Amino acid sequence: MRVHILGICGTFMGGVAALAKAAGHRVSGSDENVYPPMSDLLDNLGIPVREGYHPEHLESDIDCVVVGNVMSRGRDVVEALLNSSLPFYSGPQWLAEHVLRDRLVLAVAGTHGKTTTSSLLAWILDHAGLEPGFLIGGVPANFGVSARFGASEYFVVEADEYDTAFFDKRAKFVHYRPRTLAITNIEYDHADIYEDLDSIIRQFHHLLRTVPGRGLVAVNGADANIVRLLEQGVWTPVESFSAEDRGATWFGRHDTVDSGSAIAVYRQGERVGDVHWSQLGKHNVENALAAACCAVHAGVPVSTALEALSTFKGVKRRLDKRCNYGGITLYDDFAHHPTAIRATLAALRNARSGSRIIAVLEPGSNSMRMGVHGDSLSGALGGADRVFVLARDDLAWDVASTLADLGSRLVAARDVDELHAGLLKELRPGDRVAVMSNRGFQGLPGRLEESLRQRAHVATDSER
């Protein structure tokens, strides 16, 4: 089959392209944002990508078109597609019909933690010799890729609640039909498509309706919104996980150690083993418990699951340690919601309470730019000693007034150059810097790393 993908350079659609190629299809694509790393990945796979969205890209030998949710009515290529006789699918629909059909699907849903938990689950299955396929919205360090077709019936998918396509406004995850489902948490987000929390919970309930009675739903036992969800009806066995509630099916008691964290794992009240790993934070403990719960349901022995967790190397841009130069440690993190920001800063604080924590935030998500989380943002950032925020032109709120509670700790910068310069003046040995954005932050993490490297090199030379 010849498949053409509109919006191929997005993380999800690029993963779909890789899976389609691995399944033996001929794949091409179009996008307006053709740049590394995705452009390099697609080029290495032998998938041609054309710049822009033009009707002439819909060539006569194409069998079907997969439409990314970046596309909308009114674009010339969309209108040309609708006027043609070409079959077209959303990415999730194509994935469901051509990859997930006849697979044993393990899905991870939730407002936060999906990428890390999906990566953990895929790694546990792989460590157990089950050779799973996966599609994840990030790059697990244990694999080095975000998508793999796999050599078995098992397939792990990060199940996003964002809408599917311009012609299908359901959440992406309703297409996946998992046998095993983890729900990490539920909060209000995606204000550009959901009017309130109830409308999000409704979508999660649509997902619950697709899980078979012989399956499993693993849920965060301390999440009140998940309790509300389950009260609407569930037809599948439920197990809970928690780093707080000892009554959960899976409970983890954790301590911070020099190399990361140590977790004592309990299942139904019985201690079943320990995990020693490099990951930080209570939120990652719960991600680990969710993954272990799902893997055990798929047939992995508990001991094997815990052994795999101890060898997990993390996910790029999920509290990802980029460097340490001159005693300054730089982390790159995807946090873009107050809850995730709070968890990231708490993890750093608990790991080394004596160091200064410097938070650097790009308000990048649609909800963040709209100011939906303004009431809780200053509290989330309160865990940092200094806070640098990129005051983007497209923000519907004023950074200085909204975050006034932070007082003198706050620096609002007009652009990345100003932010970069301010950080270099501020940073001193012992600082831990968390750069947080769900976008590219206009290259700031890489620029800051290089500047710190050069500064440390000059300091070393001057001491000789």
Distance of CA 328 to the CA centre of its chain: 26
Reported as type and span, the H/E element at residue 385 is none
Question: Residue 46 contacts by C-beta under 8 Å, 6 or more apart in sequence?
Answer: 21
One DSSP character per residue, 151-174 reads SSSEEEEE---SEEETTEEEEGGG
**pLDDT per residue of the chain (464 residues) written in tens, 0 to 9:** 999 999 999 889 999 999 999 999 999 999 997 777 788 889 999 999 999 999 999 988 999 999 999 999 999 999 999 999 899 999 999 999 999 999 999 999 999 899 999 999 999 999 999 999 999 988 899 999 999 999 999 999 999 999 999 999 999 999 999 999 999 999 888 777 888 999 999 999 999 999 999 999 999 999 999 999 999 999 999 999 999 899 999 999 988 777 678 999 999 999 999 999 888 888 899 999 999 999 999 999 999 999 999 999 988 878 788 888 989 999 998 877 888 888 888 888 887 667 899 999 998 788 888 887 878 888 989 999 999 999 988 888 898 999 999 999 999 999 999 999 999 999 999 999 999 888 788 889 999 999 999 988 776 666 65
The amino acid at 260: G
pTM for the whole thing? Answer: 0.85
In the chain, the domains with their CATH numbers are 2-89 (3.40.50.720), 102-310 (3.40.1190.10), 320-463 (3.90.190.20)
Quote the CA–CA distance of 346 and 433 in Å, as a whole number. Answer: 13
The amino acid at 37: P
| H helix runs in 209-301, sequence order | 224-231, 282-297
β-pairing verdict for 357-361 and 432-436? parallel
CA trace torsion 170, 72, 37, 1 (10° rounding): 80
One DSSP character per residue, 96-155 reads IIIIITTSEEEEEESSSSHHHHHHHHHHHHHHTT---EEE-SS-BTTTSSSEE--SSSEE
267 touches 302 (CB < 8 A):
yes
Instruction: Map tokens 């100011």 to a residue.
Output: 371
Query: Nearest-5° angle of CA 171, CA 175, CA 176?
Result: 115
